[in-house]
Chains A and B, each alone.
Chain A
Amino acid sequence: MSRPSGTNIALGAWTTLVFLFLFAPIIVIGIYSFNGGRLLTAWDGFSLEPFTAIIDRPTVRHTVAVSLQTAVVAALLATVLGTLAGMAMARFPGHWTGPFTLLLLLVSVTPEIVDGIALLPWFVTLGQDWSLLPFNNGYVRLVIGHSLFATAVVTYIVRARLVGLDASLEEASADLYAKPVATFFKVTIPLVGPAVLAGGLLAFTLSLDNTVISSFINVSGTTSWPVYVLSSVRSGLKPEIAAVSTILLVFTLLVLGLVAWVLKRSGSSVTDTMAVN
């Protein structure tokens, strides 16, 4: 069936082209982060200047710092909310699961622009009309905006992991007279651990990348890195934007590689545990 026929060669060539297409702009950004010119789009010789420029420019450093801080807090928040919800969905399904799944689905498919334009007036209502001052804080706004989709993602991942695992491990723990709380901390948490870590790291990269919601709820002084980049699309893109992006790209790939590694490793360790028992 898989002997190299004409059709298969054509399909393979097409797939190769699709992959080249997918990677073309990423490779270009990587190359142009060594652009010695003044503007990103005009190549003017190889140079390391874009990378050194990062150190000299406080705006670049500040916006990247805002993004990293927001991403850590948003990821932690989404991980806690999503892990609890995912465990509830997998282990305690009931009448509530249907409406809750619908809510998660709506959160996942709603275009980000709708989240953004809905959150902006809501933060104004909370912070200015109702004087709940934290909602005027740029960090708080960013963390909330980034946590929504991420919570749904973590919930899906944790739920998928637990549904795939046999509930008998937890039942065995209960049969052996462990209190529900002890079972939860000693059996359930170690079982979902890898999924929680994977979900949390994905939430982190999602937050780091968020442009649309952030640009609507932006408060001056806490502009995140993607919002800064979007604003410089209008004012003129500099090569150091490509340099920072290359660094962030390598960083994201390392994080994702870590997720893959943890998931793979835990997959085998779970089987080992079961084999020992």
Chain B
Amino acid sequence: MPRNGSSRLPGFVLAVPAWLWLTAFFVVPFLQIAWFSLGEKPGMFGSHSNAVMSLDRYAEAFSPTFFTIFRATLWMSVLGTVACLLIALPAAYFMALKVPAHRRGLLVALVMVPYWTSFLIRTIGWKVILSSEGALAGFLTDVGLVADPHDLLNTRGAVLLGLIYNYLPLMILPLYVAFDRVDSALGEASKDLGAGRIRTFFQVTLPLARPGMIAGIILVFIPMMGDYVTPAVLGGTKGTMVGSLIASQFLTAQNWALGSAMAVVLILLTMLIVILAISLMWAVGWLLHRRSRLVIGTVRTKEVTA
């Protein structure tokens, strides 16, 4: 399809192999499970059948069991994302705006190191730290903060800790990039206009870092919703998340139709929540912006002469 009629091959031909590959092994497989989700499990030994088409699997997917686990997963992912944001904000701000420029590259590399080392092994590292035989459990029991050394591992708290830990670098990096792009002249201008440091941070720096916050929330929240390694390692039987439930439909129960429906529900609800969260952030930002614009308007005439 050469649009300009030249004899050369159009450039996009170079992208065709990747396009075909991702279509064959990403798009088509997903369409197939969307198709399976409309079918049923035929008897004991079959995994799926589309002989009878219905939306019954979706009704089943919203069963109380699934819904309880889904709500727990959602709750943990929201808590985990908020915790990541609160932990990462001061650190990213410090790295981007307070550390001398020549040391920033090293700090960013240090944030990347845990992310590029095995996810599973790092989670197992937490299993070692939290295990009843470990020094931490012994210390906390001696101090009296924990009644039983077995109370740390295989709890929802342990899974939440693992989730925060595993995705924290994905929150720090976009926030760092966003703060790094904030022109320091804007902060100085804000101070010249009489705003204090705290007010400058909340009314100038933080709103400018909003794209980084949105990127971080997306990067952290979506994989948290689908995580099944962290609950498998740190949660035991208590920390089941929706990922584990979907996995068991495919690997244990051999009910592909129901597992597919659950996966489709997971993706759609995750997307919906992300879109809602981003709209909410924009709405809040817009309201704040409207308010601060009025403030600047009253000050302007005085400052221009200065």
Which residues of A are interface residues toward B (Cβ below 8 A)?
A: 1-2, 7-8, 11-12, 14-15, 18-19, 21-26, 28-29, 32, 40-43, 80-82, 84-85, 87-89, 91-92, 94, 96, 100, 103-104, 106-107, 109-122, 125, 144-145, 147-148, 151-152, 155, 180, 202, 205, 208-209, 211-212, 216, 226, 229-230, 233, 237, 241-242, 245, 248-249, 252-253, 256, 260
Contact = CB atoms under 8 A, between A and B. Distances in A.
Contacts, number: 243
Nearest to B271: A109
Given A82-B18, A111-B222, A114-B266, A28 B93 contact: no
B contacts with A: majority SS? helix
Contact of B223 (A25, A92, A112, A144): A112
A43 B133 contact: yes
25 contacts: A2-B100, A11-B98, A24-B125, A25-B125, A25-B126, A29-B121, A87-B14, A96-B15, A100-B15, A106-B26, A107-B26, A111-B225, A111-B226, A113-B228, A115-B26, A118-B30, A119-B25, A122-B29, A209-B117, A209-B118, A211-B119, A216-B251, A230-B120, A230-B233, A253-B113
Contacts of B125: 24-26, 28-29
A207 to B, nearest CB: 12
A29 B128 contact: yes
B250 A92 contact: no
A224 to B, nearest CB: 11
A208 to B, nearest CB: 8
B57 interface: no
B228 A118 contact: no
A111 B268 CA distance: 12
Interface in B144-200: 165, 168-169, 172, 184, 188, 197
Given A85-B19, A113-B243, 6 more contacts: A22-B113, A40-B124, A118-B29, A118-B32, A121-B48, A233-B232
A92 B116 contact: no
**Most central of B8, B27, B88, B124 by chain A CB within 10 Å:** B124
A contacts with B: majority SS? helix
Closest 9 CB pairs of A and B: A92-B11, A111-B226, A25-B125, A88-B14, A118-B29, A122-B29, A85-B18, A88-B15, A41-B131
B277 interface: no
